[in-house]
Amino acid sequence: MKKIFAMLLVLTMVFSLMAMSGSAYADDANKLTVMAWDANFNIPALEAAAAAYQKVNPDFELEIIQQPGSTEVEQAVTLAASSGDLSTLPDITLFQDHAIQKFVRDYPDAWNTLEGADINWDDFGAEKLSYSTFDGVHYGAPVDNGTAIFAYRTDILEQCGYTVEDVTGITWDRWLEIGREVKEKTGFALLSMDHNGNDLPYMMMQAEGLSQFVDGKPDFANESLKKIIEVIVQGAQDGSIILANNWSEYTDSTIVGDQVAGVMNGNWIIPTISLVEANSGKWALTTLPTINGGEGYAANGGSSLYITGNCQKVDLAREFLAYTFGGGEGAIETYDNALLNGGVITTCISAGSSDVYMEGFDFFGGQAIYADIVAMGANVPVIEQNDFHYQARTYIGNAITNIINGGEVEAELQYAQELLEFEMDI
Amino acid sequence: MIDKKKKMDAIQRRLIPCYIFLIIVSLISVFPLFWMFTAATNTTVEVAQGKLWFGTHALENFKNLVDNTKLWTSFSNSFIYAAVQTILSLFICSLAGYGFELYHTKGKDALFAVLLMAMMIPGVATMIPLFTMMSKMKLINTVWGFVLPALSTPFLIMMFRQNSRTFPVALMDAARIDGLPEWQIFFKIYMPVMKATYAAAGVITFMNAWNAYLWPRVVLTSNNAQTMPILIANLANGYTIDYGMLMMGVLFCSLPTVIIFFILQKQFAEGITGAVK
Amino acid sequence: MEKKTNRWGWAFLILASAMIMLFSFYPMFSALMTSFKTGSSANMKYADPIWKNFLRMFKDRMFMTTLKNTFLYLIIQVPIMLVLAMLLAQLLNNQHLKFRGLFRTCIFLPCAISLVSYSLIFRSLFATQGLINSVLMGLGFIEENINWLGTTSTARGVIIFALVWRWTGYNMVFYLAGLQNLDYQVYEAAQIDGANGWHTFWHITVPQLRPVIIMTSIMSINGTLQLFDESVNLTAGGPASTTMTMSHYIYNTAFGTGTANFGYASAMSFLVLVMVAILAFINLKVGDRRD
């Protein structure tokens, strides 16, 4: 017993020494900390920005605090702001577009504005800025544009006698027919989605130019939403839409696991599609179908960078953001490398016309996908946003599950709306 | 002699269904752990497709884990937090259990009953106020922020108190006659006699501290302060998951507690036996 | 002299008691205060009426769903686990049984694994393309992969199975310890009287083990009502929130998807506290009556 106790003490001391040598922490005037998620997407973008800014400020250092996802970042802000002690926050944080409005309203002290930063806001897409602007005051420096794409496997479509043109600008009913045919002839589904956070209804509604909210209230009785839910349910029942249980099953099993001939999501999904090298050259990108036909445009899951209320070097942070993500002199370098290393696509119009953006990609059969996505991004309609975006997503997702299990569409949507109204306290 | 052997054989034969049942239960108990080992040696695709046997990807998985995560920082953090919590917690709670049982009065019994109620307080309820408290004390991302709320637990106090029921009071009286001060009785007599209880309580505390998830998720926000369970939960909830690497992480998160349990299992069983008397 | 030793007694227990007061009771009290408030968590105001969050709870169908889920786990899992643990303890207490230590170690081993680890292991095992499906398929039991975690009934089944797997050994150790403390003279007397195995177990073993049974039941009820890690890491509450537990919902209300409704979360966690207290009390009463 004594021996074990002594061993425990010795080990503790050894580990403490190890830990201490690792955490030598120097706080200097040229260092900023930033909290972000996704090592394959946002982190390379931040590294690219840091490298670009170091050219004009060689002493600059950017410490990246990596979080597993946006929820953890939101939790960190909630905790810091609620306890009234912001000191646990980094200088800058990446934040999900759909979530930021409520956080700025609830915790005004937790943020610093970008007023006075040298940023030409006209150089950015209006839809993107609508998330990060509050009463005309800019808070966020846009990172990626989240424009939704629909990627198809051309080889599989071909087996059924279709080309990408045949699935562009079609109605969802036609899409369902093709989906059935593809499933029957090739065994592939034509679409999959993480059903634990099902973004399909939101994107499909936005492609119609509609929101799930009207005047700050949920509007689930909407005929278009009803039609969209019916399409998803029908697709799931046909086997042409796979609703995965969780994110990992969605990406690893359905996309990387080669079960689908189509992927529809924010363009940040492209790196995941590209993981399967065997399918290189077989993918092509296009727009979304719509209810009545015609090309649909939507955006999903973009994010922006915000300076927190804990930042002691606000001027440095503003300068850094303006120079890089804000369309300053380092913007082209930042966005080019962010694109090459992480697949992050800008909403900055001038940066989106660089040579890198014009390049064709072999993986997508030589298609200049990034130029196409930037062009699509300009068409995304601005729709009403709401603080309860994610709750709406959860309840509509639950409704879809219940309808697949035999529930009735109108009743389930009605129930989902009631749950959401209850949560919104209206 | 022969008769006795026959009798033994008969008994063993009657026990055959018991053996079969126990073997099945043991296999079910051990299987997921066995699979954790094999999965750590396979590639992500093999794990995702449910490969059963050992593969050749162990070194690769280990290298990926070291390169992509703060494995050693998290591992030593987990160890320091758990060790500090175990040592201090055993001291504080055994002292209290000793005081409650061997110096017991009506007042102390009443206090004990009140303290027991703390066992029922759900972790989610106290999380927010505790975070506020810790951040006011500037203890976020520190070992103290992690251990302070868990140092004194009604469960451990109760365990020491129960075990102290068999403590020979005569020893204390003898020590008093020898002129030993009260506090030295605890160190010189009580602690050595209660070895088994300390071992059992130590195992339980160490495992609880090592495996804690909800509270560290809240109080340890920096990557440099995170623990093993947070590390693997983050790996599992990330955007792209390498299952081979994840299972290697799960293995690293599980081994220390398993080893400690193996070393101390005899004392553990003895300590628990004393606790339920 | 008496008084002096008494004072020493207080000195010994004061630190532990003070810490429980400070780190359990004080936060609980402050959570109670929070449960009467609403609004942004950075600037909370007393609700009007003051009971608003508590009234809200009973109209919240999501909360009722999670309440039902949690009680379903409680009613099915706790009895299965405790009976199984008791059975195993009884078997392992047989002096003639060989390899007792080995069996005990194997069955207890799951307890050494962290909740996060084992949730992740089970999530992988029961994935649609996972090992369980490929084994069942290989043996010819199923034609098509079962979506274990995507179907309400099987997802609940997996959670219950995982809980039983993780905790049976833990409870067994307590029963085993209890059995070793039993008075063997009573057993011999019973055998002379010609009592059979079941009779001995029910009328002699169970009454003597009563304190241990009560303790394990209270621990299990408490643990199940506060179930969190499994719901989060194994099923993420899905499908359609049909496996979500109360603690998971409370956590989501406070930290998930940006709601930060601390007042309501605190109110709900108070209900959990009350339920645990009531069930523990019933347990103690029922335990007493069997005398």
- pLDDT (0 to 100) of residue A377: 85
Query: Which residues of chain A have a CB within 8 Å of the CB of C63?
Result: none
pLDDT category, A178, cuts 50, 70, 90? very high
Q: Is residue A288 part of a domain?
A: yes
C-beta of residue B203 within 8 angstroms of C-beta of residue B120: no
Say if A258 is an interface residue toward chain B (CB within 8 Å). Answer: no
Cα C124 to the chain's mean position, in Å?
23
- pLDDT (0 to 100) of residue A291: 95
Provide the domain count of chain A.
2
Q: 3-class DSSP state for residue A288?
A: strand
Chain C residue whose CA is closest to B203: C112
pLDDT category, A22, cuts 50, 70, 90? very low
Tell me the C-alpha to C-alpha distance, in Å, between residue A36 and each of A43, C24, C188: 7, 33, 69
8 Å CB contact of C61 and A419? yes
Enclosing H/E stretch for B116: helix B106-116
Say if C142 is an interface residue toward chain B (CB within 8 Å). Answer: no
Same-domain check for residues A292 and A305: no
Same-domain check for residues A153 and A113: no
- pLDDT (0 to 100) of residue B163: 84
Q: What share of chain B is helix, strand, coil (3-state, %, to 5)?
A: 80, 0, 20
Q: Is residue A203 part of a domain?
A: yes
- C239 cis-preceded (ω within 30 degrees of 0): yes
**For residue A162, which amino acid is it?**
Y
CATH, residue A307: 3.40.190.10
Listed residue (A384, A116, A369, A160) closest to A261, CA to CA: A160
Domain enclosing residue A267, as ranges? 148-298+380-385
| Segment B264-271 mean pLDDT | 80
- pLDDT (0 to 100) of residue C251: 87
Same-domain check for residues A214 and A277: yes
Same-domain check for residues A218 and A280: yes
- pLDDT (0 to 100) of residue C19: 94
Query: Which residues of chain C have a CB within 8 Å of the CB of B257?
Result: 112-114
Say if B265 is an interface residue toward chain A (CB within 8 Å). Answer: no
The whole-model pTM stands at 0.86
- Which residues numbered 37-76 in A keep a CB inside 8 Å of some CB on B? 37-41, 65-69, 72, 75-76
8 Å CB contact of A402 and C147? no
Chain B residue whose CA is closest to C137: B50
> Out of B76, B132, B233, whose CB is closest to A83?
B132
> Out of C127, C238, C256, whose CB is closest to A71?
C256
| Segment A136-147 mean pLDDT | 90
B274 pLDDT above the threshold of 80: no
DSSP C108-143: HGGGGS-HHHHHHHHHHHTSTTSHHHHHHHHTTS-S
Q: Is residue A399 part of a domain?
A: no
C290 pLDDT above the threshold of 70: no
8 Å CB contact of B76 and A272? no
8 Å CB contact of C112 and B257? yes
pLDDT category, C5, cuts 50, 70, 90? confident
Same-domain check for residues A178 and A231: yes
Tell me how close the Cα of B222 comes to any Cα of chain A, in angstroms: 7
Same-domain check for residues A255 and A238: yes
Enclosing H/E stretch for A241: strand A241-244
Give the separation between CA C263 and CA A97, rounded to whole angstroms: 26
| Segment B52-74 mean pLDDT | 86
- pLDDT (0 to 100) of residue A309: 93
Tell me how close the Cα of B64 comes to any Cα of chain C, in angstroms: 19
Q: Is residue A402 part of a domain?
A: no
Q: Which chains touch C (3 or more CB pairs under 8 A)?
A: A, B
pLDDT tens profile A336-375: 999 888 888 888 888 888 888 888 888 998 999 988 898 8
> Out of A110, A245, A253, whose CB is closest to C238?
A245
Tell me the C-alpha to C-alpha distance, in Å, between residue A164 and each of A160, A283, C243: 12, 10, 40
> Out of B49, B104, B120, whose CB is closest to C280?
B120
Q: B interface mutation test: which of A40, A77, A85 has the most B CBs within 10 A?
A: A85
Q: Residues near A104 by Cβ (< 8 Å), separated by ≥ 6? A: A111, A134, A139
pLDDT category, A240, cuts 50, 70, 90? very high
> Out of C129, C240, C258, whose CB is closest to A253?
C129
A136 pLDDT above the threshold of 60: yes
Q: Which chains touch B (3 or more CB pairs under 8 A)?
A: A, C
- pLDDT (0 to 100) of residue C288: 62
Q: Left if phi > 0, otherwise alpha if psi is -120 to 50, otherwise beta: which for B137?
A: alpha
- pLDDT (0 to 100) of residue A302: 85
Say if B48 is an interface residue toward chain A (CB within 8 Å). Answer: yes
8 Å CB contact of C177 and B276? yes
Same-domain check for residues A185 and A294: yes
Tell me how close the Cα of B143 comes to any Cα of chain C, in angstroms: 16
Cα A35 to the chain's mean position, in Å?
16
DSSP C141-153: S-SS---GGGSHH
- pLDDT (0 to 100) of residue A166: 94
Tell me how close the Cα of A169 comes to any Cα of chain C, in angstroms: 32
A89: Cα within 13 Å, side-chain hemisphere: 30
- Residue for token digits 């007599």? B189
pLDDT category, A8, cuts 50, 70, 90? low
8 Å CB contact of A12 and B237? no
pLDDT category, A17, cuts 50, 70, 90? low
A111 pLDDT above the threshold of 90: yes
Tell me how close the Cα of B167 comes to any Cα of chain C, in angstroms: 16
Same-domain check for residues A208 and A133: no
pLDDT tens profile C216-254: 888 898 889 888 888 888 888 878 888 999 999 988 888
Q: Residues near C130 by Cβ (< 8 Å), separated by ≥ 6? A: B48, B49, B50, C124, C148
Rg of chain C over Cα atoms, rounded to whole angstroms, equals 23
8 Å CB contact of A23 and B224? yes
- pLDDT (0 to 100) of residue A242: 94
**For residue C197, which amino acid is it?**
G
pLDDT category, B23, cuts 50, 70, 90? very high
Q: Is residue A18 part of a domain?
A: no
Q: Is residue A9 part of a domain?
A: no
- Residue for token digits 């278009």? A224
Least confidently predicted of A256-260, B191-195, C207-211: C207-211
Same-domain check for residues A226 and A241: yes
pLDDT category, A282, cuts 50, 70, 90? very high
Burial of B27 (C-beta count, 10 Å sphere; 0-12/13-18/19+) = exposed
Domains of chain B: 2-60 (no CATH), 63-275 (1.10.3720.10)
Q: Residues near A332 by Cβ (< 8 Å), separated by ≥ 6? A: A351, A354
DSSP C170-185: HHHHHHHHHHHTS-HH
Q: Is residue A404 part of a domain?
A: no
B157 pLDDT above the threshold of 60: yes
8 Å CB contact of B132 and A69? no
Q: Share the mean pLDDT of chain A.
A: 88
- A108 cis-preceded (ω within 30 degrees of 0): no
Tokens of B38: 């094999």
- pLDDT (0 to 100) of residue A25: 44
Same-domain check for residues A314 and A181: no
Chain C residue whose CA is closest to B251: C117
pLDDT tens profile B173-185: 888 888 888 888 8
Please state, for a pLDDT cut of 90, what percent of chain A lies above it.
50
A312 pLDDT above the threshold of 80: yes
Specify the DSSP class assigned to residue B101: H
8 Å CB contact of A8 and B76? no
ipTM, interface predicted TM-score of the complex: 0.84
Give the separation between CA A34 and CA A317, rounded to whole angstroms: 10
Please state, for a pLDDT cut of 70, what percent of chain B lies above it.
98
Binding-site residues on chain A for chain C (CB distance < 8 A): 71, 74-75, 78-79, 81-82, 84, 99, 102-103, 105-107, 109-110, 195-196, 243-246, 249, 253, 257, 387, 390-391, 394, 397-398, 401-402, 405, 418-419, 422-423
B51 pLDDT above the threshold of 90: no
pLDDT tens profile A187-213: 999 999 999 889 999 999 999 999 999
- pLDDT (0 to 100) of residue B48: 72
Q: Is residue A101 part of a domain?
A: yes
Rg of chain A over Cα atoms, rounded to whole angstroms, equals 23
- pLDDT (0 to 100) of residue A15: 60
Query: Which residues of chain C have a CB within 8 Å of the CB of B39?
Result: 124
8 Å CB contact of B221 and A84? no
pLDDT tens profile A27-44: 578 899 999 988 878 999
Query: Which residues of chain C have a CB within 8 Å of the CB of B8?
Result: 96
Same-domain check for residues A153 and A293: yes
Specify the DSSP class assigned to residue A115: T
pLDDT tens profile C20-79: 999 999 999 988 998 898 877 777 888 778 888 898 888 888 899 999 999 999 999 999
8 Å CB contact of B125 and C27? yes
Same-domain check for residues A200 and A89: no
- Strand A303-308, strand A213-214: pairing: unpaired
Q: Which chains touch A (3 or more CB pairs under 8 A)?
A: B, C
